[in-house]
């Protein structure tokens, strides 16, 4: 199938979700997506492994099953909403799929999902759940997503910051009630430096080596340090994950007094504080009028990383065609 096919299917699923209460025929759905009915059927069946008509009927029936146990609507009202003209025709279809009557389902309860190899189901109160690939393939786990998004977006910030003057970088920050001295910094340069140094410090502590010597905190130097620190941090975290060593602990003698750290908690500490600092830095740089930062929201970043253009980017930015988290070559335009 052509490269746009997954995005077309996502558009179809969005259309399906928003028109469950409308009598949207196959021709209408195809027209709304600027496709022929033949191509829409072929596309959805190839990608989703279910015909559009049977997918719609199943989703409506799953919604009906959920309504039976979570609402006080009459069986007739639920039948009509599911596209059945009579309670008897609804009952026959329901019994065929669930093995019991709608009234029995309402009385005794039960799961509303029907068997589906594509993992697409009604997700209450008014959405779809599309299960991801659980067989490996080109999917990433959560650790990979967090590491890669952190690396991409932080590099964006550092590249953008190269266009800022020292006066701007060192201007005092007024964080108000959001100020947390143990996490934040007094300036934008300080925020960026702490984002880099945190990776350097914790990687060295976990590996049991000396921290690399920092020569300066100029933005070009921070960018150079980030390249090394982010790569090292990624290897450390993935090694912990692959070895399932989340509960291992180490004693850091550089602390006064010495402290014991569990690897999983230490890694979560770094992710949490980095995300907070990154959010503050993004806010500061936007107030300074720097260009929009593509893919800073994890949802937009994942869409770009998986090759699916974000049709409706979130407030954090993002859009079609950009490499995940990275601006065009040359940094600030």
CATH code for residues 5-130: 1.10.10.60
Per-residue pLDDT in tens (0 to 9) along the chain, 333 residues? 344 566 788 888 888 888 888 888 888 888 998 899 999 899 998 888 999 999 999 999 999 999 999 999 999 999 999 999 999 999 999 999 999 999 999 999 888 999 988 888 998 877 787 765 544 444 458 899 899 999 999 998 999 899 999 998 999 888 776 667 777 778 899 989 999 999 999 999 888 888 887 777 899 999 999 999 999 999 999 999 999 999 998 877 677 787 888 999 999 999 999 998 888 888 888 888 776 565 578 888 877 766 554 333 333 333 333 333 333 333 332
CATH 1.20.120.450-classified regions of the chain: 142-290
Q: Measure the CA–CA gap between 46 and 5, rounded to whole angstroms.
A: 10
Q: What's the confidence (pLDDT) of residue 6?
A: 63
The three-state DSSP-derived secondary structure of 249-301 is EEEECCCCCCEEEEHHHHHHHHHHHHHHHHHHHHHHHHHCCCCCCCCCCHHHH
The three-state DSSP-derived secondary structure of 234-261 is HHHHHHHHHCCCCCCEEEECCCCCCEEE
Q: Provide the token pair at 316.
A: 């954090």
CATH 1.20.120.450 holds for 142-290: yes
Q: What is residue 205's DSSP assignment?
A: H
Produce one character per residue of 138-158: b if its CB has 16 or more CB atoms within 10 Å, e if not: eeeeebeebbbbbbbbbbbbb
CATH 1.10.10.60-classified regions of the chain: 5-130
Whether this prediction's pTM lies above 0.75 is answered by no
Q: What's the confidence (pLDDT) of residue 259?
A: 83
Q: What's the confidence (pLDDT) of residue 309?
A: 47
Q: How many helices (DSSP H) and strands (DSSP E) are in the chain?
A: 13, 4
Q: How far is CA 14 from CA 7, 29, 88, 123, 128, in A?
A: 11, 11, 30, 13, 8
């Amino acid at each position: 199938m052509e490269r746009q096919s997954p995005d077309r299917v996502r558009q179809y699923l969005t259309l399906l979700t928003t028109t469950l209460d409308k009598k949207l025929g196959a021709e209408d759905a195809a027209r709304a997506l600027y496709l022929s009915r033949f191509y829409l059927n072929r596309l959805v069946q190839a990608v989703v492994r279910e015909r559009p008509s049977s997918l719609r009927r199943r989703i409506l029936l799953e919604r009906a099953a959920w309504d039976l146990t979570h609402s006080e609507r009459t069986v007739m009202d639920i039948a009509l909403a599911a596209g059945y003209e009579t309670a008897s025709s609804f009952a026959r279809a329901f019994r065929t799929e669930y093995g019991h009557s709608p009234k029995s389902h309402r009385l005794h309860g039960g799961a509303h999902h029907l068997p589906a190899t594509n993992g697409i189901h009604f997700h209450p109160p008014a959405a779809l759940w599309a299960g991801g690939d659980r067989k490996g393939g080109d999917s990433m786990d959560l650790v990979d997503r967090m590491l890669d998004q952190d690396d991409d977006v932080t590099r964006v910030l550092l590249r953008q910051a190269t266009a800022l003057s020292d006066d701007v970088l060192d201007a005092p920050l007024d964080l108000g009630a959001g100020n947390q001295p143990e996490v934040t910094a007094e300036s934008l340069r300080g925020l960026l430096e702490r984002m880099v140094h945190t990776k350097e410090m914790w990687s060295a502590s976990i590996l049991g080596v000396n921290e690399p010597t920092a020569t300066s905190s100029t933005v070009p130097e921070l960018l150079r340090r980030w390249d090394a620190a982010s790569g090292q941090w990624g290897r450390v975290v993935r090694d912990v994950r692959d070895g399932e060593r989340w509960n291992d602990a180490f004693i850091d003698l550089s602390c006064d007094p010495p402290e014991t750290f569990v690897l999983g908690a230490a890694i979560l500490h770094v992710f949490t504080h980095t995300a907070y600092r990154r959010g503050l830095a993004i806010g500061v740089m936007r107030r300074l009028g720097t260009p929009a930062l593509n893919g800073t929201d994890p949802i937009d970043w994942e869409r770009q990383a998986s090759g699916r253009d974000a049709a409706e980017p979130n407030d954090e930015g993002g859009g079609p065609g950009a490499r995940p988290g990275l601006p065009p070559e040359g940094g600030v335009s």
